[in-house]
Every structure is written in structure tokens, then in C-alpha cells.
Structure 1
Amino acid sequence: MDSYHITGGEKLAGDHRLKGAKNGVLPILAATVLTGEPCEICSCPSLSDVHTMVEILRSLGCSVTWDEDNIRVDAKTVDQWEIPERLMKGMRSSVFLMGPLLARCGQVAMTQPGGCAIGDRPIDIHLSGLRMLGAEIEEDPHRIVCRARRLTGATIRMEFPSVGATENLMMAAAAACGETHIIHPAREPEIEDLQNFLNACGAQVAGAGTGEIVICGVGDRRAAGPGSGTAPLSGCVHRVIPDRIEAGTYLAAAAITGGEIRLLDSAPSQMAQTLARLKEAGCRVKVDKTSIWLTAPRRLRSVREIKTLPYPGFPTDMQSQFLSLLTLAEGESKITETIFENRFKHVDGLLRMGADVAVDGRTAHITGVAGLHGARVQAEDLRGGAALVLAGLAAEGETVVENICHIDRGYDKLEVVLNDLGAKIERI
């Protein structure tokens, strides 16, 4: 497998223009199954997860073309309702297709989704919500089959604000008959982006980003319920919102190397918690509507406590990168992970590089050290792999990060961007 070879000690400096959010483009691509006219999705990053989603859409009968950063999907000829197992195993986000396929074809079959092993991520909330919309579901440890002659609106109270479940239910309800209320949904910006896409395609969705999402299903007026094969929505052109996790990662990369960076086409309003913690660590941060400037201090300061929480709290997808950052901060810091129980796998690599980190259950206690040294480490998941790259950028000597297929799932040509900013990193 490919690996990154990093010669540390270079300060990052320069500009970087962000692309669309990984966590935004994947559900939107899944939602194109609901349409019978071409959709053009703009600002799509070239990630392995996006390539997998494109391959899944083609396996279902969609025509898909990819021109630079734009993906054009024509789902008029969808004729399959079972997702190939090899594609399901490669990406957890393949589960997003459950709601759209059920609405379009009246049935969907898939194996349990794969993805990063960062903790227990059952899809019970997805399935219980679909049942409330009228789906009949057969489930065993390996395979799930959902069927529905007709989807009917319902009031769904979510026991946990699952992002994926919220999006899946929004897509299914958009094609149902009647009105659906999702109570206590996830509030991530990517959910608002999905709402905007669905509405541009003719759906009636309101309330994304609040405590209740209301969907007036088009099933009644289109007379095209599940199993008819008729697409309930039309096409549109849509630009995906900027990737706030990519943005946070590059800001942390500049901070850990003592550099400075300007991010273009960003969305600072969606990154309040990340920017606040960078300021607490001593970074100078300036923003306008679509840009972020960061200048690192001579030495980072410790952050008393970071606790991951659903949006608008501190994002779990930024926890690993901040842990690397704080290994070089003066003083003691604490990070508590409340979302996933196995998100400290990268700590072993940091310890090999000279970090002082003690993990107690879901809490990591970090004592800042004067410097890190290069080592051979392995990426165990997407964000943990990125965190090890950040540590390598600041470490003395050479760091080799192996198993970077995980990193490719969430960063478009990471080594190219970092080299453009002044790093010395090579993909081998």
C-alpha cells in the first residue's frame, strides 16, 4: 500500500482553496437516485469514497460523468435495487442509498456497511425511522432487505441526532405520501445542504439546522409511489458547501508547524468551535464571509478541555487533529470523546514520536513536549491518519505514515496541497 514519507520541520505558509465537503457530497449523490432528470453536482472532491459512490450509482443503472470537480448524474434509467457487497464493504456512506432506493424502487437490499473502525455505529436509527414510514425490513448480521409498497409520512423522534439517519429519512420522506416531522434531528451544515439540493429538485423540506425538520412528501401529487420505477423529483445544478473538516485540518497543520495560512472558499460561520479552540491555543485567527486567515504563535498554548459533541459542538472529526496539535502545546490539555469509543487509535503512533499522552477510557490527557521525532506509524482510520501526518510535519527527522488508503477517503491529494504550502511530503 502507499505511504507518506515526511521530512518535518517546515513551516506551512500560503493559500488553499477548499473544495466541497466529503460529508456533503456523498448524501447528495445518493439523493440523485430520486431524480428523473440530469443533476450536476459542483465542487466535488476527488476522494476514494466519492469514487466508490459513483461506482455504486453506475451499478444501479445511472449514467455518471465526472469532469474536473463536477459530477453529472442521470438516474432516469435506475434498474437495480441491490448494492454490490464489495462496494458496501468499502464505504459506510453507502447506507445513504437505503432511503432513496426504497422510495424509487420500492425495495432495497444491501450488506452491512463498512468504513473506518472508530467505534460502534449501528444503523438501528435508520431502520426504525424507515419502518415508521411504512417499510418492512428483514435483517440478519450480514444482509438487510427493505420493502415498501407505499411510504407514508410520520412523526419520527430521534433518540440520538444521527447525521446519516437524519439524511436517509429526509430523502425517503421527500418521496412519501403526506407530511413527515423529524424531531431532534442532527443539525450539521451538511444536512442543510442536502435540504437545499432536495428543494432545488422539487421537494418540500424545511427546518434543517433546527430542532424539527418538516417534509411534505411529493408522493401524493406525483402519483409515483415506491415500486413504480418513476422518479419523484426533477434535476438541478447544485454546488456543495465547503468542507469544514478539511479546513480545520489545514488550519491545524499551519498551527502545529508554526506557520500561517489563508483558506479561500471556506465557511467560517460553520466552524465556530474549531476556530475558538485554535484561538485558545494561541493562534491569531481572522475571518470574513468566505475566508479564514491563521497565524501560529511561537509556541502553542494548552487547551484546558475539549469535549466532542453533535453540531454545533466541537466536531468529533477534528478531535484527532487537535490531539496531535496539543502534544506540542505548553501545559496540560484534556480531550474527551463522547461520540465514538475507538477514536484514540492514533495515540500509539504519537507515543512512538515522543508525545506524552495518557488515555483513560474516552478521555486523553496530553502534556505538551518540546518536540516530536520522526517514526514509522500506521493510519488506522481517516482522521487519525491525518493527525499522524500533522505530527510528522512538525517532527524532527523523517516520519513514514503507512496505510494511507484511509486518508484518501477524506482528503483530495493531501500531499500535493501540503507541498504547495511548503511541506516536504512524498507519496511512495
Structure 2
Amino acid sequence: MKVLGHRLQLLTGLLLHDMTMAGLQELRFPEEKPLLRGQDVTELDNPDTLLSVVDTDWKEHDIETPYGLLHVVIRGSPKGNRPAILTYHDVGLNHKLCFNTFFNFEDMQEITKHFVVCHVDAPGQQVGASQFPQGYQFPSMEQLAAMLPSVVQHFGFKYVIGIGVGAGAYVLAKFALIFPDLVEGLVLMNIDPNGKGWIDWAATKLSGLTSTLPDTVLSHLFSQEELVSNTELVQSYRQQISNVVNQANLQLFWNMYNSRRDLDINRPGTVPNAKTLRCPVMLVVGDNAPAEDGVVECNSKLDPTTTTFLKMADSGGLPQVTQPGKLTEAFKYFLQGMGYIAHLKDRRLSGGAVPSASMTRLARSRTASLTSASSVDGSRPQPCTHSESHEGMGQVNHTMEVSC
């Protein structure tokens, strides 16, 4: 298979596997500035401490939306013209269970300290949530997406970079389709763009009759191999899902997710007036994840010139938990591709903020450059993703696919 493009290397510790990135042009930055757009917790040691991190600098909010209250946790305040990082968790989880390990990873904190970070909990899924009253109608997946503009408006965000997992990835994709001007980029993990057919629906109903709700949700989060091996991680999540998330509220969210419709997206040029995500997208899935087929399907429906497909080796259903280092590095490249991060502090050196090794390789490998106009605070940067092509299965697929 022929690959047109350039080779990058991901760093985890000192060095990760070779990784080819699509859609990044050379970025030229003044070396004295650590960021383009102005200046401005404890790492989890084992799965049993998923909820033990003390978030002293996070503030909780309950925001009124057209479809009810939404629990949001935020750190920082809007910084110049930079977007906020907004997350949405998978079904069965909340922002803590889904994202604590990833956002508490040391290298990730080096990135997020330059952005306001906003975690959204789906209705009734946050820690300590009260049970919904009898007869409560849980919002549809489309309504969950329509709740997010209230969050954006409440905090005064101009636009966001979304990070979603599973059901949360579906919600953020729907949000970007309905409100494209509010979304700068998307990192979608374990997304399934397809609704359930009647056979899948029947199988889900049967599973609900023969299994407990936590076990049913675990089969959505983890592969059969992970469940059979019954690792400490799986055991921990079984306990957390059972004890931390309100079971009645979870059942409502689970039912609504399983009744979702197909995402209305098609690759440009394949059908008349095709709809697609207009922002840069990074699709992520573990190589041993139950969502792999769905992510591959989503990749086939997105614009190949703005999409990167990342399959993570040695990773199961929760790559943000099992491989936070690799995902952090990929996210850094994603931000660099949109023109945000030029330099990061290298913790291995004592000289302070320096151009990252990956950024140096990136600069050497590109022939085009951005003008200095995109390096000042005050104008929204244009996504500088560009397509790379490789041949496979007898046809050209411009979408970049990498494994790391």
C-alpha cells in the first residue's frame, strides 16, 4: 500500500511508534512564544481511585436548558479567542469515570492549562444525582445535543473543541451537525453513527432480561476479551457503575441511546446535498474495542480531507483510560493542526518552555506555511488540515488511518 505524506513519531515517555498524520501543514511560530493565541491532579495510580481525585480548581454548575437542567463542571475561563474543550461521556459513565484518567495525565495537563475545560454530564448521570420522578421523559439524542448551546452561551464560549466517547461522541457529532459554527473540532472515540435495527433492538431487550444493567452496559464499554479476562479495570468499572451512577437514571439514558437514529452524514460527493461534519475530526478506537466496526463506518461517511482515523494498539474499549499517553500525544498534534499549540514545556529538560520534539519534526516535514496573520489573537484560525492519500482495496481513500 502506497502512503503519500510524511512520518511523525508519537512520544510516550521518550518515544512511541511511528505515526503518519494527515492534514497538517508546516506551522511557523516565533520561538519565544509558547502559544499562538496569547498567554495567559493527581494522576490515578489504579482503577480503584477513579473518583478519588480532589478537583479543587473545578467549579460545578447546573445550567438551565430547553430540555431541563444540565450538570457541568468547568475549570478556567475563556482565554482570548481560543475555544473551550468540551467533553461528553459515554452511557453508563459520567465525566469523572470517563475522563479523570485522561485529563489527570501529566502531559495532558500541560495542554489543557492553556484552555478552559468544560465537562458535561448527561442528565441525571452525575455523582449524587437524584432519581428522576416517575414518568420523566429523558431527552432524545437530538435534544441532548440541543442542550449544549445553552452551555456555550452561559459561559460565553465562542466555539468549542469537543471530546466525546460512545454515546457522548454521538451527541457531539449531532451538535456539530446542528450548530456547525459553534464547533472548531471534534475528537470522537468509539462513535457508532448507526441506529439499531430491529434485530439489534431485540438482542438488547433479551440481554436486559438475562443480565443486570451494569453488566449490559459493560458489554457496551468493553470487548468480550476484556470481559472474559475480568481485569481489575473491568471489576472497578462494574463496581463504580453499580454504586456511583443512579440506576434508574442510567436505564433511561441507556434506553434512549439504543433508540437513536442514524447520524445524517454522508461523504461529500456520494449523494446529492450530502451532510457532513464541517470541522476537523479525529476518530479514535482501540484495536480490541466493541465499537471498532461503528468507527470504521463513521470514517467512511466523513469528509476525507478533514478526518484522521486513529486505531490504538494494545487498547480495548476505553483508550482514554488504558492509553492516555498515546491519546494525549495525538490530541496535541490535532491542536497543532488547527494552529493552536506551537510549543510545550518539555519536562525532560531544565530550560523551560522549548519547541517540542514533535513540533520540530513537523516543521521540517512540511513545505507550506501559515502566514503570521493566523498567529495573533483576535481572529478564528482556519483549520489547516489537508488530505493525504493512500491506496487500498482498489480505490483511493484520502482519510488518514494510523495505528499506534
TM-score normalised by length of structure 2: 0.31
Considering fraction of residues, name the structure with more strand: 1
TM-score normalised by length of structure 1: 0.30
Structure ranking higher on relative contact order (CA contacts 8 Å, 6+ apart):
2
Q: Tell me which structure has the larger Cα radius of gyration.
A: 1
